[in-house]
Structure 1
Amino acid sequence: MSIISRDFFVTNIIELIIQSETILPVDTVIALENAWQKESNTIAKSQLAAILKNIKIAREKKYPLCQDTGIFIFNVTIGKNIVINFNINDAICEALRSATETLPLRPNVVHPLTRENSLDNTGDGLPDITFNLTEGSDFEVYVYPKGAGSENMSRLAMLKPSQNREIKRFVVETVFTAGGMPCPPIIVGVGIGGSFDLAARLSKKAALRPLDGMNDFEQELCDAVNTLGIGAMGLGGDTTALAVHVNTAHCHTASLPVAVNIQCWANRRAYKKFI
């Protein structure tokens, strides 16, 4: 069995948080560079150039990619052969508090009613931590900072079972309504099926998926979104979405939940395999 110490874990999570905030994943950088190369709109091309310059400065100077450093989502995978003698939730919160001061991160977490700020990016239910249990000795952590500009534009609909043709319309209308507010070019995550809450989780997971290609249905949705002409930062252009990703789950015979979660161009995520 493998044993992980608390101090080692906390130190690495601090580094992972800082990495997620300052270094955009290569797949997203490549997608933005491709969008810049193909862009025919002069204004959109200049916006994409500014985004790429921003990415370079953030990486070189270890500055946050965006002033909205987001709220944090952690996905932790643990194998049954891993021995953990500390509270992982508490350790992640400690790391997040430390990273908030070190980088620093903007304190974004507030009470929903009083709006009192915790000042350390932690609070009831946040960070959002999901655990996956596996066989063997896996121990991996993904971290995803999620900003409000894109999150606020996300939507969910409980369609009728006969309205499967409305899925495409709902996705496109959601992006159209969002316009430039989620800082396009965006990644669109779509969750279809499950239940009210499961569809939302599916869409979030889809939005955070690496840009490793789209199936035919996803490409169809992406093409439809890009015909809107919203473009980079909502100023018009050829590329509104870098990708559309779809996750599905079986659902009740009387339901057709559909959720759309939008991710901005700052498609931040980082990964650490401890063992």
Structure 2
Amino acid sequence: MDIVENISKTIIKASTTLTDDKLKALSHAIDIEENENARWALSQILENYKVAQKTRFPLCDDTGIPHVIVELGREREISGELLNQIHEGIELGLNNLPARPMAVKGDEIERIEQSKGLYEKPGMLKPASVLIDCANDESTYKRDISPDTLNLHFILEGGGPEIRAKTYRVYHKRSFENVIDTAVDWLKESLSLLGCTPSIPSIGIGRTHYEANALMLKSIAYGNLDNQSDVEKRVTYKLNETGIGPLGFGGKTTVLGSYVNIGNQRASGVRIVAIRPACFVEPRVATLKL
């Protein structure tokens, strides 16, 4: 198996295709929509999906920042060579897609200021730090990971949802409703400003800012609109009540569903909550099984 080439193909798949559960949810949203403008917007979004998948063009001009989750069984190992292959495969995939050039040149200060411009090759965009997941995970999205599992999940994260995302502490007041409703309130504000709904928002609740965001990222990789928890259904219902609708046109579907991933907690008065209001081309995720 040429791992680098297969990773490249997986990156392209993540950027150009969507999972069946999301396509099904979008088709259902079109069927039930009574607002003429909202129905038109949803139909155009569905057509965009079909064209991207057929032509292998990116779903969006903002082709996203690569994030990687390594799902590891207890009898498998990862090496420095594999990590290098992941970086090489992502670079090849972004160049072959082709992705939009987004990597900023320069030293630490120049990258912050964006004063040296951008690299021409899309593959110069480096992935975020790799996250390793295993059977010891104790979150909502805990899976029965077999000993022989070695899966590479590639997620492309667009800039718009990152701008509207938030990670902060919530005083729980011994109330689950207080925590989840605070997250929903943040999302209501974010979705009203996002501009590219319908969304599949993701929520991670943990002990630290890092953990909350890791939980949120895992929910994007493992979440499924065909299998929504009661908490996820509650979040979806409350957000659809806003009437923001697709592209802000109003209507019944502001979100197609939601992902909520709750991890371990510590004895404290606060819970750390991360939210991400995905745009209508997300989650862009694909998996390579090794």
- TM-score tier by shorter-chain length is 0.7 to 0.9
- Equivalent of 1:136 in 119, 122, 147: 147
- Equivalent of 1:36 in 25, 30, 35: 30
Which has more helix, going by share of residues? Answer: 2
After superposition, the C-alpha distances for 1:44-86 in whole angstroms (9 at most, x for unaligned) are: 1000000110111111111111111000111122445446665
Task: Determine the structure 2 residue equivalent to 1:200.
Answer: 213
Rounded to whole Å, the distance in 1 between the matches of 2:248 and 2:180 is: 21
Task: Give yes or no for contact 2:201–2:257 (8 Å, CA) kept in 1.
Answer: yes
- Equivalent of 2:166 in 152, 155, 158: 155
* Number of residue pairs the alignment of both structures matches: 267
TM-score (norm 1): 0.87
Task: Determine the structure 2 residue equivalent to 1:239.
Answer: 253
Change (3 A) 1:140 1:207: closer
The one-letter amino acid of 1:128's match is: S
Change (3 A) 1:84 1:246: closer
The one-letter amino acid of 1:198's match is: E
Task: Determine the structure 2 residue equivalent to 1:271.
Answer: 287
Q: What is the deviation of 1:254? A: 2.8
Task: Determine the structure 1 residue equivalent to 2:156.
Answer: 145
After superposition, the C-alpha distances for 1:135-177 in whole angstroms (9 at most, x for unaligned) are: 7322211111110111211112212231734324423322222
Rounded to whole Å, the distance in 1 between the matches of 2:170 and 2:58 is: 39
Change (3 A) 1:48 1:235: same
Change (3 A) 1:121 1:259: same
Q: What is the deviation of 1:22? A: 1.0
Change (3 A) 1:167 1:84: closer
Instruction: Name the SS of the counterpart of 2:99 in structure 1.
Output: coil
Identity %: 27
Task: Determine the structure 2 residue equivalent to 1:213.
Answer: 227
Which region of structure 1 is more displaced relative to structure 2, 59-68 or 252-261? 252-261
- Equivalent of 1:12 in 6, 28, 34: 6
Which region of structure 1 is more displaced relative to structure 2, 19-28 or 201-210? 201-210
Q: What is the deviation of 1:214? A: 1.9
1:73 aligns with 2:67: yes
Q: What is the deviation of 1:265? A: 1.8
TM-score (norm 2): 0.83
Which region of structure 1 is more displaced relative to structure 2, 133-142 or 241-250? 133-142
Q: What is the deviation of 1:194? A: 1.8
In the alignment, structure 2 segments of 5+ residues that lack a partner are 136-145
Task: Determine the structure 1 residue equivalent to 2:183.
Answer: 171
Rounded to whole Å, the distance in 2 between the matches of 1:240 and 1:136 is: 40
Q: What is the deviation of 1:120? A: 3.6
Q: What is the deviation of 1:43? A: 0.5
Task: Give yes or no for contact 1:153–1:182 (8 Å, CA) kept in 2.
Answer: no
1:59 aligns with 2:73: no
Q: What is the deviation of 1:88? A: 2.0
Which has more strand, going by share of residues? Answer: 1
Rounded to whole Å, the distance in 2 between the matches of 1:171 and 1:57 is: 34
Rounded to whole Å, the distance in 2 between the matches of 1:30 and 1:172 is: 24
Which region of structure 1 is more displaced relative to structure 2, 168-177 or 187-196? 168-177
Change (3 A) 1:192 1:182: farther
Rounded to whole Å, the distance in 1 between the matches of 2:252 and 2:277 is: 18
In the alignment, structure 1 segments of 5+ residues that lack a partner are none
